[in-house]
Amino acid sequence: MLQGMSLRNAILGEVGLDPGSSSQVHRRLQARMGDYWPVNDGQVYQVLTSAVAAGLATADPDETGKPVYALTDEGREQVARWFDEDFAKATPQRSELYLKLDLLGEGVPEGLVHAVQDQLHHTARAARKVRKVLKQDNLEEFRALSLRGVLAHLEVDVEWLTEVLDALER
């Protein structure tokens, strides 16, 4: 399934759990999945307005006139179908770094070393953040499972990026 469709369905799923304004839905999504799939408020707003146009959601104004999004029956059916669908099978991750390493000839460009250092720093920081979230006592079971999967991938990436950096700096 395309990542855009996954995000669209995740946003609809969040609205199905608890209707709200675009900014409320965005904040809840960030709290729920921002550790592994950040989403910006513009994406949430765009998905919600297109969901209303497609008949998947309603947007009734609250007391301040701000639209409060809720799923229609068709929207709930869409989310249910999404949960029943097969998800993307494991395929090799595409990375520009893989291409650059495969094509690297003699000499290592300094910019490549800095890019790998930055990526290593970013990935290690993300792993620390996920570890910190996993230490929370009140973590829901399935959120903990998804975060442990994210952490496993991050830890492998840190190990591999360290190996790449070592090779580049030799």
Task: Examine the domain organization and report whether 13 and 69 are in the same domain.
Answer: yes
pLDDT of residue 5: 75
The SS3 call for residue 61 is strand
- The separation between CA 121 and the C-alpha centre of its own chain, rounded to angstroms, equals 19
Number of domains in the chain: 2
Name, in order, each residue with C-beta under 8 angstroms of 6's C-beta and a sequence gap of 6 or more: none
Range of the domain at 80: 3-84
Question: Which residues of the chain fall short of a pLDDT of 70?
Answer: 1-4, 89-90
**pTM for this one?**
0.72
| The CA-based dihedral angle spanning residues 13, 16, 19, 25, taken in that order and rounded to the nearest 10 degrees | -10
pLDDT of residue 84: 87
pLDDT of residue 94: 76
For tokens 């090799």, the residue is 92
Task: Examine the domain organization and report whether 78 and 123 are in the same domain.
Answer: no
For tokens 């592994």, the residue is 36
Task: Examine the domain organization and report whether 11 and 73 are in the same domain.
Answer: yes
148 with 128: CB under 8 angstroms? Answer: no
E strands, 28-153, where? 57-61, 67-71
**Could you tell me if residue 125 is inside a domain?**
yes
Task: Examine the domain organization and report whether 62 and 10 are in the same domain.
Answer: yes
pLDDT of residue 122: 95
pLDDT of residue 37: 85
